[in-house]
A and B are shown apart, each in its own frame.
Chain A
Amino acid sequence: MLKYYVEESGDKMEYEVIVVGAGHAGCEAALASARKGHQTLLITGNLKNVATMPCNPSIGGSAKGIIVREIDALGGEMGINADKTLIQMKMLNSSKGPSVHSLRAQADKITYPQEMLKTLKKQKKLELLEGMVEDLIVDSNEVKGVYLKDGKIIHSKIVILTTGTYLKSDILRGSTRTRSGPNNEKPSQHLSDNLKKYGFKILRLKTGTPPRIEKSSIDFSKAKKEEGDKTPYTFSHDIEPIYNVENQVPCYLIYTNSTTHKIINANLSKSSMYGGLDDIKGVGPRYCPSIEDKVTRFKDKERHQLFLEPESLYYDDIYLQGFSTSMPENIQEKMVHSLPGLSNAKILKYAYAIEYDAIYPTQIKASLETKIIKNLFTAGQINGTSGYEEAACQGLIAGINASLKLENKEPLILKRNEAYIGVLIDDLVTKGTKEPYRMLTSRAEYRLLLRHDNADLRLREYGYKVGLIDEERHNKLLEKEKTIKDLKEKLKETKITVKNVKGPYGTNVYDYLKDPTIKLEDIKEKYNLELPYSKEVLNQVEIQIKYEGYIKKVEREAQKMLSQESKQMPEDIDYNKVTNLASEAKQKLEEIRPNSIGQAMRISGVNPSDISILMIYLRKNYNE
C-alpha cells in the first residue's frame, strides 16, 4: 500500500508506530510491527533507497550469517530477501567445527532493495512516506510523534528511530568535509541536536568505504578467482535455493604492493584521517581499518589482501574490498592504478570516510526502548553498531517489542545463550561501545550453542509466540523436533554387531557416531539404517550426537550465567546509597541500571569486589 501522504490543514494523521529510516533496521522494524497488525508508517528520505547497501555488496559473513538465520527464525525478512537476490553463496569456516559455520552471500545491490521495496509495498497496515524527520513530539518524557522538515506533524503511539549514518553525517575525502549521507543523500541536520536536547548523550562515529571500479577496465587475468560453493544453501528456513550454483558470479583476489604503499606513505598527510582534516572526532572501527591504517600500523607487511567483488548483475561497479580510504581523489587514482590488473582502471565512485552521530547505547534498555523517552525505540547504527545484519536484527527486535508494548505484553529479550542477537543487544546496553560495534563469533561465549544449523530450534518458538511465525511454519518446526528426537532414539537402539568397533565409543550407533572420524552417511549401509529424513535433520542429529559432550559443557556454563541472571535488581535501588562501592562502579551502575546481578557483573568498571558489596547490600536491605 504505497501512499504519498499530503497533509491537509486541520488533518491529524495518527499511527500506532512510526519508523524513521528505511535501511535494514527500519525495514525489519516496520514489517514486524505491521505484520503484528499495528498501523505503521515508514518514513525515509528517498524511497528508491530502501534497504540499500551503501558499503560492501554482501549479506552474512562469519557470525553475521548466523544473525541472518536468527532473523529468519524469528520471522524477519533479511534472509528471504538475500536468498531472492544473491549472486554468489559460500559457507565460511566449513573446514572448522559446526559452531562456526556461517553463510555469506554476494547480494545484488540493485535487486536487493527492489525486492525489499516490493515486500514493503505489499505489506498490509504499512504505509511509506518520503520525508526528513528533524524532531520528535515529546510530552512529559513520552514520545507522541514526529516533526518533518517540511513542517508536517505526524502523531503516533510509538516511534522507532533507525536513522543509520544519516545523523549529521559528513563525507570526508582528503581535505574536504561535505555534509551529506552516503550516495549524496540528504542527511538529517537537527535530529541528533534535538535528541541531545532531550538528554541523550551523543557519540560521534566514523566508518569508511572503498572505491568502486568499472568492471571492463580491470584485467582479471592478474587476479585469483574466488568462486561460490557448489552446494546450494539458503539463509531462510522456509525456501529452497533459487539460484543456479553453476551460474554464480565470482569474486577476485589481488594484493597491494610496494608501489601502492609508497604512494600511500608519500601522501599520508593528505588523507582526511592523517592531517587532511583537523577536526575529526569520530571513532572508527578497529576491525575495519582503512588502507592508510593498514600500511602505517603494519609497516612490516609487504602486501595486503584485496577482494574485487561484483556489486550487481545490472551495472558494472566492482567493489574493491579492503581498500577503504579518505585520500583525495587524485591520490586514489594513483593508488588504484598501482594495483595488479588495475593499471587502466576507471574509478566510478571514489572512496570516502563518513562521520555520523549515534547515541550512547547504554541509554537504551534491552527491549531497545530508550530509558529517557518512553515509547521511543532505537535500532541499528544510531545505537553504535555497524553492519547490515547487526542493524536488521535490532530493527526486528525493536519492531517486535514496540508491538508487544502496544499489546501490554512483556518485551522479547533474548539471552546470551540463545542468540547472537541476545549477545549483541546485551553488549550494547551493558557495556556500551566506543567504536562502531560489529558482531564477531568471539563475542559469544556460548557460541557452540548459537549455531547456523539450529537457529530455528533456538528461536522459532519465540517467533511463533510473538506472532510472526504462522501455524504452518510452526508445525513444521514441531515435526522437525520430533523427528530429531525419534532418530536419536533409533540410533541408540541400533546395536553395533561388527567386532573391532567396540572401542571407547560404545556399542550402539549413537555412541559410535561420537568418534570424530565416523560419519552417519558412511555407516548407514553397513548397519542397514533406513534414514528417510531431510538433510537438515540428519545433519542436526549428527552434530548433536558428535558434539554432545562439548555442548553439555557449554550448557552448564550457560546455566551458571542464568542463575546470576535470575538474581533481580530491585527497581528502586539507589546506588549512591550503597556505601563502599567504588565511585566508578556507582556511576556505571546508576547509568546502566542493570536488571540482574548477572548483567551488573558484565559492566566494565564494576569489579568483583563491587559485586560482593552489592550482594551484601541487597541481602541486608531487600532480604534476598
Chain B
Amino acid sequence: MNDTIAAISTALGVGAISIIRVSGNDSLNIVNKIFKGKDLTKVTSHTIHYGHIVSNEEIIDEVLVSVMLAPKTFTKENIVEINSHGGIATTNKILQLLLTNGARLAEPGEFTKRAFLNGRIDLIEADGIMNLIEAKNEKSRQLSINQLSGKVSKLIKELRDNLVSIISNIEVNIDYPEYEDIEIVTNETIYPELLKFRKKLINIINKSKDSKIINQGINVCIIGRPNVGKSSLLNTLLEEDKAIVTDIEGTTRDIVEGKITLNGIILNIIDTAGIRKTDNLVEKIGVEKSLDIINKSDLIILMLNNNEPLTKEDKKLLKMIKNKTNIILVNKNDLDTKIDYSLLPNNIIKISVNNDIGIDKLKSRIIELFNLGSFETDDLTYLSDARSISLLEKSLIKINDSIASINNNEPIDMVELSLKESWNILGEIIGETYTDELIDELFSRFCLGK
C-alpha cells in the first residue's frame, strides 16, 4: 500500500470534464513532473491550481489541479486530482504520463479500499459509495447518500441494541441467579419480545428489498425460441422510453444490454449475449447456461408465438421458469392461432409487438408484480445491496431458530445461542464482527476509478 495509484475517476466520454485521481505518498511529486504551473509540492492543502500538463515540453492539456494533503482526504493519503478538458484521448494520455512517471494503475475499487483500510470509512459507507457511483436515478442517489451518512449503520445498530438488551437480560439471570429483584427472564418472557423483534426485522428486510429495486433496478431477461420477436419487443421498449439510461463502457456489468425506466424504476434488460445472434437460447448455449441467466434475473419474460404450436423447446423453457417470477407473452396475435392455449397458464398476455398491441398490459403487469405502484419513496433509510440483505435474511433465520427452540421447550441458554449468532451477523453488516472473506468479496465488486 506504499505505492501511488492513479485512475480516471469520471465516466469516460461523457461530460465536458474528466477527472484523473492520484493517491499515495508520491502523488505530488509524480504530478509535479508533468505539470507546468506552480510547484505543487509547495502549495497549501486543499487548493486548486491552474496550469498545463506537458510531455517533453509539448502541452497536452489545459487543466485545473486540486491538491489535498493527507490525512484529510478520501483515502487519508496525499491526493491530486487533475481536471482535464480534452475528451477520451487526452485523458488517456494524461493517465499514461502518470503511469510512466511512477504511478500504478489503480485496481477496481482500490481508492475506496484504501479509504476503508486507512480507517476513513466503515464497511457500510464503503458500500454506500459504491452505490453512489453506480446510482442511475435520483431515488437511488438519495438512498446512497443515506447509506453514506450512517443512517443505515444507525438502523442496524438499533436492531443490535434491541437484541443485545434481550441477550443481556438472559446473561444477567445466569450470572446472578440468586438476585430475586432482577426480573426473571424465561422463555415465556422473551417470546413476545422475539416476535416483536422478528416483525421489525422482516419489515426492514422487505423495505431493503424495495431499496434494492430502487437502487439497482429489476433484472429482466427475455427468452424464447428464434423468431418469436424478442428483438422487436426489446426495441419497442427501448424506443418508447424517453429516458434511456445510456451504458458507459467498462463501468457496468456487461451482461446488461439495455435499461428502461418504469415508474421511476430501472429495468435492466439482461443481455442474452451471443444468444440473440444465433437467436437460439436452448440449443446454442445449453440448458445449464440458460438456467444460470434465469437465476440471475428477477423477472423472466418468455415469448411464444400465437401462430405456431408449442415446440419441445417451448415446453422446456416453460418448465424452467416455473419457479421464477415470470410473464408469458404470446406474440403475433394478428396471425392465425395455432398454439394450444390449454397448455398454458391463464395469466398469459396476448400481444402483437409489430402493431404495438399489449405493450401497456405488459408494463402494468410488471408494475403489479413488483408492487412498483406502492413504493414508499419518502423513507429510504434501508440497505440496498445484496450482501447486506442476505445477511439480514441470515439473521432472521437465527431468530426463527430461537423461536423454534422456545417452542421446543429448550432451556433458555440454548435459545440464546441463536440470538447471539443473529447479533453477530447483524454486526457483520456494519463491519463490527470480523470475517476474512467479507472484505475480499466486498472490494472485488468495486469498479475502476473509485
Please list the residues of chain A having a beta carbon within 8 angstroms of any beta carbon in chain B: 62-63, 92-93, 96-100, 226, 253, 255, 301, 303-305, 307, 440-442, 445, 447-448, 516-517, 547, 550, 553-554, 579-580, 582, 601, 607-609, 611-613, 615-616
Which residue of A is nearest B171, CB measured? A442
Contact (Cβ within 8 A) A607 B176: no
Contact (Cβ within 8 A) B181 A100: no
| Given known contacts A516-B408, A607-B119, A612-B439, A92 and B413 CB-to-CB distance under 8 angstroms | no
Within the complex, the shortest CB–CB distance from A103 to chain B, in Å, comes to 12
Q: Which of B168, B177, B431 has the most CB atoms of chain A within a 10 A radius of its CB?
A: B177
Contact (Cβ within 8 A) B410 A305: no
Instruction: Choose one: A97, A550, A609; the contact of B116 (CB below 8 Å).
Output: A609
Contact (Cβ within 8 A) B434 A613: no
Which residue of A is nearest B126, CB measured? A609
Q: Which 3 A-B pairs have the closest CB atoms?
A: A97-B411, A97-B413, A608-B434
| Given known contacts A96-B411, A608-B431, A608-B439, A582 and B181 CB-to-CB distance under 8 angstroms | no
B158-191 Cβ-contact flags toward A at 8 Å (1 or 0): 0000000000100101111111110000000000
Whether a CB of chain A sits under 8 angstroms from the CB of B414 is yes
Contact (Cβ within 8 A) B181 A580: no
Whether a CB of chain A sits under 8 angstroms from the CB of B263 is no
Contact (Cβ within 8 A) B174 A553: no
Contact (Cβ within 8 A) A305 B175: no
Instruction: Choose one: A100, A303, A445, A580; the contact of B118 (CB below 8 Å).
Output: A580
Contact (Cβ within 8 A) A97 B119: no
Count of chain B residues with a beta carbon within 8 Å of a chain A beta carbon: 31
20 example contacts (A-B, Cβ-Cβ < 8 A) are as follows A62-B176, A62-B177, A92-B178, A93-B174, A93-B177, A99-B414, A100-B413, A305-B180, A440-B171, A440-B175, A441-B175, A442-B171, A442-B175, A447-B413, A550-B410, A580-B118, A582-B119, A601-B434, A611-B434, A616-B1
CA distance A301 to B180 in the complex (A): 13
Instruction: Choose one: B181, B417, B436; the contact of A304 (CB below 8 Å).
Output: B181
Within the complex, the shortest CB–CB distance from B424 to chain A, in Å, comes to 9
Contacts of B420 in A (CB 8 A): 445
Contacts of B417 in A (CB 8 A): 448, 550, 553-554
Contact (Cβ within 8 A) B439 A441: no
CA distance A601 to B432 in the complex (A): 11
CA distance A442 to B180 in the complex (A): 20
Q: Please give 7 more A-B residue pairs, beta carbons under 8 A apart, in addition to A62-B176, A304-B181, A608-B431.
A: A96-B173, A96-B412, A97-B413, A516-B411, A517-B409, A580-B117, A607-B119
CA distance A255 to B411 in the complex (A): 30
Whether a CB of chain A sits under 8 angstroms from the CB of B346 is no
Within the complex, the shortest CB–CB distance from A15 to chain B, in Å, comes to 40
Within the complex, the shortest CB–CB distance from A301 to chain B, in Å, comes to 7
Instruction: Choose one: A226, A307, A441, A601; the contact of B171 (CB below 8 Å).
Output: A441
Contact (Cβ within 8 A) A579 B1: yes
Contacts of B178 in A (CB 8 A): 92, 226, 307
CA distance A611 to B431 in the complex (A): 12
Whether a CB of chain A sits under 8 angstroms from the CB of B342 is no
Contacts of B278 in A (CB 8 A): none
| Given known contacts A62-B175, A92-B178, A516 and B119 CB-to-CB distance under 8 angstroms | no
Instruction: Choose one: A62, A580, A608, A612; the contact of B174 (CB below 8 Å).
Output: A62
Within the complex, the shortest CB–CB distance from B393 to chain A, in Å, comes to 19
Within the complex, the shortest CB–CB distance from A461 to chain B, in Å, comes to 26
| Given known contacts A442-B171, A580-B1, A97 and B117 CB-to-CB distance under 8 angstroms | no
Within the complex, the shortest CB–CB distance from A96 to chain B, in Å, comes to 5
CA distance A414 to B236 in the complex (A): 70
Within the complex, the shortest CB–CB distance from B402 to chain A, in Å, comes to 12
Instruction: Choose one: B117, B173, B176, B177; the contact of A612 (CB below 8 Å).
Output: B117
Contact (Cβ within 8 A) B180 A96: no
Contact (Cβ within 8 A) A442 B174: yes
Whether a CB of chain A sits under 8 angstroms from the CB of B2 is yes
Contact (Cβ within 8 A) B2 A579: yes
Contact (Cβ within 8 A) B410 A97: yes
CA distance A287 to B412 in the complex (A): 22
B110-142 Cβ-contact flags toward A at 8 Å (1 or 0): 000000111100010000000000000000000
Contact (Cβ within 8 A) A441 B117: no
CA distance A303 to B420 in the complex (A): 32
Contact (Cβ within 8 A) A92 B2: no
B378-413 Cβ-contact flags toward A at 8 Å (1 or 0): 000000000000000000000000000000111111
Within the complex, the shortest CB–CB distance from A131 to chain B, in Å, comes to 39
Contact (Cβ within 8 A) A305 B409: no
Contacts of A99 in B (CB 8 A): 413-414
Contacts of B174 in A (CB 8 A): 62, 93, 96, 100, 441-442
Q: Which of A304, A307, A608 has the most CB atoms of chain B within a 10 A radius of its CB?
A: A608
Which residue of A is nearest B439, CB measured? A612
Contact (Cβ within 8 A) B410 A609: no
CA distance A57 to B439 in the complex (A): 51
CA distance A447 to B417 in the complex (A): 10
Contact (Cβ within 8 A) A547 B414: yes
Contacts of B123 in A (CB 8 A): 608
Contact (Cβ within 8 A) A613 B181: no
Contacts of B413 in A (CB 8 A): 96-97, 99-100, 447-448
Contacts of A304 in B (CB 8 A): 181
CA distance A96 to B123 in the complex (A): 38
Contacts of B434 in A (CB 8 A): 601, 608, 611
CA distance A226 to B178 in the complex (A): 10
Which residue of A is nearest B440, CB measured? A612
Which residue of A is nearest B121, CB measured? A609
CA distance A550 to B174 in the complex (A): 18
Contacts of A601 in B (CB 8 A): 434
Q: Which of B123, B171, B436 has the most CB atoms of chain A within a 10 A radius of its CB?
A: B436
Contacts of B173 in A (CB 8 A): 96
Contacts of A97 in B (CB 8 A): 410-414
Contacts of A547 in B (CB 8 A): 414
Within the complex, the shortest CB–CB distance from A613 to chain B, in Å, comes to 6
Q: Which of A98, A99, A304 has the most CB atoms of chain B within a 10 A radius of its CB?
A: A99
